[in-house]
Structure 1
């Protein structure tokens, strides 16, 4: 197992890795292409062992060469194979031409693809575009992509689904929807965020036996978060004071549930004590069915400052609103010199009064991120890596950008969380996440670790709940018992 398996790379970094392997380690490029095609073939027969009829769509670059290797191996194994070429094979060069020639010598059939081509297959192999694509797919290639997606058969994508941007994970006009993607050498950063979740299917990484020496020479752009092997064992001679006191600030009239969800999440993840500062009108009612929460009515910023005096962590924003009361509490909270999580309307108030603090965790969804950066949600989603880096540079601390492939940025580092599911698209999920991170901070985790592990467990808890009951109807409060299991 490689020590680099959880690293993510830009398309440019993958090119640099290939150059190092070819020029320094003296592994021929044709050998890498053979390995890529062979690994893809192994994935193919593992997922579709009974497949008899295969259609391979090939473009004009090295990705096409990988496709011709798969086609040759499938032909050699007795499958009925047709390659649909979108670039005339005689225009191929280098290794791709070599692989095409070998396929033809084995009796392989190649047809020029056109809009009238009648594709009949049990499985499609997508070898149209590799990681170099940086402009929208148009013309005959767009027609081919749309035709592939219209066929009621699964697709195996080689290296990356054609039409997906390797660095951002966003669709360039149109893209192939794959059931399985086998990516080569290293995982491209765009395969784990943005639109990628709806296009990659199950993701496999084939390192092509590239030695760790090569990976050590090239800097990755991000890493995937993994669970720790174990959590620290609690001493028998410990008490609630050892595990921190979290103060959740929020809960405008009509939005008390948000503050309560955050507070309960902090308790379930292991915080020793949790208090809630909220509107006096309902403070006494907030903990009726969760008596472990200590609820306080605060009418102004001065009252909040007094409440902050013996707290270890602040979670600011769940259900807060943007009233004069909320703004007064914001001013008081921002003067606190303790670790904090800022979420929801806390972020919207921060957008109005920007600050930079080193010891906080900001948890925006794309809409809140857009307000923080003064742009549109579309701009945020077009390049999530760039957006989270800009947020961190502007506001400091640790920034967590929610969405498929949640991104977490500190100064000079980015982590990606690949747990979670569409069932989480319901109210209150962000409040639970804020409470989880706050609870981990209270137990002594640094902000960088608390954000990563909090987001990972938040998603894993949702995955566990969905495995039992399904996606639709998943509630934020359904995560609590699973969170407790995970942290133990």
Structure 2
């Protein structure tokens, strides 16, 4: 493990930043139940969800629709229903389970609900009403135990709510996980119409990976975590960790007054084949704006001798560039020509610190010799970050995009194992993985879905490596700031449509400096 990885191990068990798999959560629950009365955790879940529901409701006359499924998630929903009814809210329960479907603890919740001032409409009655008839909908249909696509009448109900809740006018609170969403992968079992799109999710016992990556980013909404009072000592190490600004609380790079441009390293961006010279320019500008001491651009094809917008960038041919003295970022606009392959081979053999993206990844996927060179770098203690999007990852793994997206954490881990590198698997909830740990990035939004943003991430990674950050630290910080810059653009009214990559670079610089200042670090 690289020493810089240790900065990410400060997350205590049961922290909202720790992300757990379903099997881990089920094991925690089983251990906790041994020392608790029957139904204690279900009651705790009901109280936690009711507290959050109270924050979403404004007056006692408001109408709440509770969707109670046939399992323990339905039991949680029934707990919330009777607690809200006791507080005076107008609560309607659409029940899909019968007593024979329920566990002993869920039966207790059902009995409490039956003795509460609840209304019990039929599905046909509910579907005659406009969704906006309700002030809050609580989703307790299915939890983390779901293993097949939702079908039948419940699927019909989900489609009715999703299709008629325009712009999510009516908030939906999902209990533990939005019904239909895989808590481990963030994928939807059976397609998008088979999951209920939540505005809020309250995750019980621990935070879950699938709430923060893939389709989970769209379906989970704002995530809240409640440990239900379980003793932290029985929690195993988290499977992954959520990257937020708190991750970097004690690890932002410091700058001394007694320093100079050489202190902060050189970056060389290699790419810019025929018709693609803009890509290395974007990567180089990103490296410049994120603090690299000097930035060189090595072009494979014709190029302007100076970037008039940023003349600080030093332009030359890739063939005449020094791959040994700088952190090399290769791939933006590289192409897949024979010369591109030659320059990539040079980078793999000569560069101490290397960031690989775009066409460089496509070349590696096609040539076993290049794959061997990538692996050999680890044996020489040379540092490598790769930044594939799902299609590039699929090519490297010789699989499909669908397979990559079906298990993004697993795909990232497989890339680490195969190539012995640090990986940033881009996408909704980017996955960062090294040989020891996995992180899921919390920042970012759809405005990043535009040409050039991947080149910017490459440049940011290279800048942080040049300034002396460890490979994992650099990758995590780059991924977080890349998304945070996009988030700040939205906050400032610049999107989500039409944010250009050039605008993003400036936003990333602002986000970086805000993060430094917020920790009281000299700047």
Q: Are 2:365 and 1:348 equivalent residues in the alignment?
A: no
Structure 2: how far apart are the matches of 1:232 and 1:371? 35
Is 1:42 matched with 2:56? no
| Cα distance in 2, alignment partners of residues 42 and 350 from structure 1 | 52
Query: Is 2:226 the partner of 1:211?
Result: no
Partner of 2:445: 421
Change (3 A) 1:252 1:477: same
SS of aligned partner of 2:249: coil
Following superposition, the deviation at residue 315 of structure 1 comes to: 0.3
The residue that corresponds to 2:517 in the other structure is none
The 8 Å contact of residues 297 and 314 in structure 2, kept in 1 or not, is answered as yes
- For the residues of structure 2 that align with 1:381 and 1:76, how far apart are their CA atoms? 43
Give the superposition deviation at 1:255.
1.1
Corresponding residue for 1:282? Answer: 303
Q: TM-score, normalized by length of structure 2?
A: 0.88
Query: What aligned pairs does 1:149-188 form with structure 2 within 5 A after superposition?
Result: 149-152=162-165, 153-173=170-190, 174-188=194-208
Once the two structures are TM-superposed, the CA of residue 74 in structure 1 deviates from its matched residue by 1.3
Q: Which residue of 2 aligns with 1:201?
A: 221
The reply on whether 1:487 has 2:512 as its aligned counterpart is yes
Matched, 1:229 2:260: no
Partners of 1:163 and 1:472 lie apart in 2 by 29
Q: Is the 8 A contact 2:185 2:408 kept in 1?
A: yes
**Alignment match, 1:132:** 145
**Aligned-pair Cα RMSD in Å:** 1.8
Match of 1:263 in 2: 284
Residue of structure 2 equivalent to 1:457 = 481
Which residue, 384, 389, 395 being the options, matches 2:413?
389
> What is the CA distance between 1:229 and its match in structure 2?
2.4
TM-score by length of 1: 0.94
User: How far did residue 212 of structure 1 move?
Assistant: 2.0
Match of 2:516 in 1: none
Aligned ranges for residues 376-415 of structure 1 at < 5 Å? 376-415=400-439
Distance 1:113 1:275, change over 3 A: same
1:368–1:280 Cα change, 3 Å: closer
Could you tell me whether the CA contact under 8 Å between 1:86 and 1:140 is conserved in 2?
A: no
Deviation for aligned residue 1:268:
1.0
Q: Aligned in 2, Cα 1:69/1:131: closer, same or farther, shift over 3 Å?
A: same
Q: Could you tell me which residue of structure 2 aligns to residue 318 of structure 1? A: 332
Over residues 224-261 of structure 1, what are the superposed CA-to-partner deviations in whole Å (9 max), with x where a residue is unaligned?
12332263431111111111111110111211111011
> Which among 316, 320, 323 is matched to residue 308 of structure 1?
323
Q: 1:142 aligns with which of 128, 151, 155?
A: 155
Q: Which residue of 2 aligns with 1:61?
A: 71
Give, in angstroms, the shift of residue 114 of structure 1.
5.3
Distance in 1 (alpha carbons) for counterparts of 2:127 and 2:357: 52
Instruction: Give the drift of 1:19.
Output: 1.7
Task: Look up the SS of the partner of 1:411 in the other structure.
Answer: coil
In structure 1, runs of 5+ residues without a counterpart are none
8 Å Cα contact 1:114/1:140 also seen in 2: no
Structure 2 CA distance, aligned partners of 1:33 and 1:428?
Answer: 48
Q: Structure 2: which 5+ runs fail to align?
A: 1-9, 514-523
Count of residues in Structure 1 that have an aligned counterpart in Structure 2: 477
C-alpha separation in 1, matches of 2:103 and 2:463? 58
Q: Secondary structure at the match of 1:420?
A: coil
1:124, CA displacement in angstroms?
1.2
Post-superposition offset of 1:428 = 0.5
Deviation at 1:337, TM superposition (A): 4.0
Q: CA 1:480–1:277 in structure 2 vs 1: closer, same or farther (change >3 Å)? A: same
* Superposition deviation, residue 82 in structure 1: 1.5
Q: Choose from 233, 248, 251 the match for 2:269.
A: 248
1:16 alignment partner in structure 2: 27
- Are 1:88 and 2:101 an aligned pair? no
Distance 1:182 1:394, change over 3 A: same
- Identify if the C-alpha distance between structure 1 residues 401 and 282 changes in structure 2 by more than 3 Å, giving closer, same or farther: same
1:165 and 1:99, CA in 2 relative to 1: closer, same or farther beyond 3 A? same
